[in-house]
Structure 1
């Protein structure tokens, strides 16, 4: 075969790619960059690999999990990479994979950009877990065990230790994932518990998603079940504290 023929054959057999634009926080792009540097590969190559791996996991789990549970799991992982500025960037994937992603996006009521971002974070989280090993303190299961120790009196003591005073119930709402944790509180917990902020966010997100929905008998009015996290401001104001105490706690959200 002549060289030019060989080149033509190569170009025909190479898998064609398609570009999908994604909108994420800069922390996700940075995490991809760190992994790319460790592997000695380009960011584009690692991003493509993460999307393929994450989407394979997505499709596999779709056979056994409901749409709501599957999306909640992937969205909770994406939420762990919400630091930094918003940024637009491009990910190139194989054309056949791009088609499958777009079909799933339509089926699940999401954009292709959202599916790509969620799949990348899913693969990153699983990659980190494998690299960390089961006994490393920053592993997700270890983080869950650490947070799980703080209930009742222990949670009240922890609230005092991180500057919330005698506001144990407020902190319990954060630890259970029911109350959104301000960055200041999250940082204080991270330093005290020696668990990274992204892992704490994931623990809180999964705790909230795992909260059982109570069964109710038929009534004239439907019971109200909270489907979203409570804001820090709402949680603080619900305590009916003095104006000074309320203001002091609201400052944590500044």
Structure 2
């Protein structure tokens, strides 16, 4: 059979169609050297390329995609190449060898499939304990309970995002996740069906959230509507107003240039602007960052968290007379990933700060 003749234009059209499919997961912004493109892959990996114009950005993006494409093992490549020329087995020993290889390959495929169906997440220990309590009450494992909560949270998000602002919705989910008691966090994983994992990762990337942060909010939202969790709920200890007042006074003492020192103590490097945003309550910072700031100010963690929320809700909203060029006032607290990316830091520093979220 004669092979079809492919021209360069055919390959270019194929690349263009491929990039068009990825367009919903891209963001294109202006940079100092031209244009900057970010692409979030299904596994949560973020590709960041730049170019002096759109054609150069597309070329650099294709180059980056080729570099991250997985290659088949050499044994698999050799097997595929030899399928058409392999002679039929002539004895039982050869047949047994081939069958053993096929079984081993299936076992490897199964292990790979399971590994790809995991979502790594960092949550507060208190949130994980509530999931364990729900699982125990239902008589199921933590894995099943977490998967059910993830599915319920994602379903609720899909339904509510049709009629509500997604930014307000995500801010509410993140607030519920941060409302869980304590500062101690734990890294763990959720095993779920491939379709659920892929949809979760793609949705997180679409709204510029890390998968861990997005899943954290979904779990908190699902738990807030879970009747089993409601029946097991224990009244949270009341935080004294005096403790919150002391925390507010401590925050006032490190405003402005002094915020640079607390930024270094909280693993923010020299990002005084980011520290100021956190102290103003406008950013949902990771628990480990809040804990280190509270330790530096020598105030209780819970009182410090309430103080940050009060600072944001009590911020004054100025009145503008001009019809154009009005400053933008944030009406919701920003997620950690959004706040970090808006600073337009170097890729290494941005990645380091995003990892603080887990």
Please indicate the TM-score interval, normalised by the length of the shorter structure.
0.5 to 0.7
- 2:324 aligned with 1:217: no
State the partner residue of 1:95.
Answer: 194
For residue 44 of structure 1, the aligned residue among 125, 143, 147 is 143
Alpha-carbon RMSD: 4.7
8 Å CA contact 2:171–2:333 kept in 1: the answer is: no
Q: How does 1:1-254 map to 2 (within 5 A)?
A: 18-81=117-180, 83-127=182-226, 131=230, 138=235, 159=242, 208=312, 213=317, 215-218=319-322, 225=329
Q: Whole-Å Cα distance in 1 between the matches of residues 124 and 322 of structure 2?
A: 44
Q: Secondary structure at the residue paired with 1:81?
A: coil
Secondary structure, counterpart of 2:175 in structure 1: helix
- May I ask how many residue pairs the two structures share in their alignment? 179
Separation in 1 of the partners of 2:203 and 2:314?
24
Q: Is the 8 A contact 1:23 1:89 kept in 2?
A: yes
CA contact (8 A) 1:18 1:93 kept: yes
Unmatched runs of 5 consecutive residues or more in structure 1: 1-15, 148-154, 171-177, 190-199, 230-254
Please give the per-residue CA displacement for 1:164-207, whole angstroms capped at 9, x wherever unaligned.
6xx8x97xxxxxxx7699696686x8xxxxxxxxxx96xx8599
Structure 1 CA distance for aligned equivalents of residues 185 and 158 of structure 2: 28
Deviation track 1:30-69 (CA, whole Å, cap 9, x = no partner) reads 1111111122111111111110111111111111122211
Contiguous gaps of at least 5 residues in structure 2: 1-113, 250-279, 282-289, 335-358
Larger radius of gyration: 2
TM-score computed with the length of structure 2 as normaliser: 0.39
Partner Cα separation in structure 1 for residue 205 and residue 177 of structure 2: 19
In 1, distance between residues paired with 2:155 and 2:314? 24
Structure 1 residues 220 and 109: CA distance shift in structure 2, 3 A: closer
Secondary structure at the counterpart of residue 53 of structure 1: helix
Deviation at 1:77, TM superposition (A): 0.7
1:132/1:138 contact within 8 Å kept: no
Deviation at 1:127, TM superposition (A): 1.9
Determine if contact 1:76/1:206 at 8 Å carries over to the other structure.
Answer: no
TM-score by length of 1: 0.52
* Deviation (angstroms), 1:212: 8.8
Cα shift at 1:83: 2.2
Deviation at 1:122, TM superposition (A): 0.7
Deviation at 1:120, TM superposition (A): 0.7
Q: Distance in 2 between matches of 1:38 and 1:102?
A: 29
Separation in 2 of the partners of 1:205 and 1:127? 25
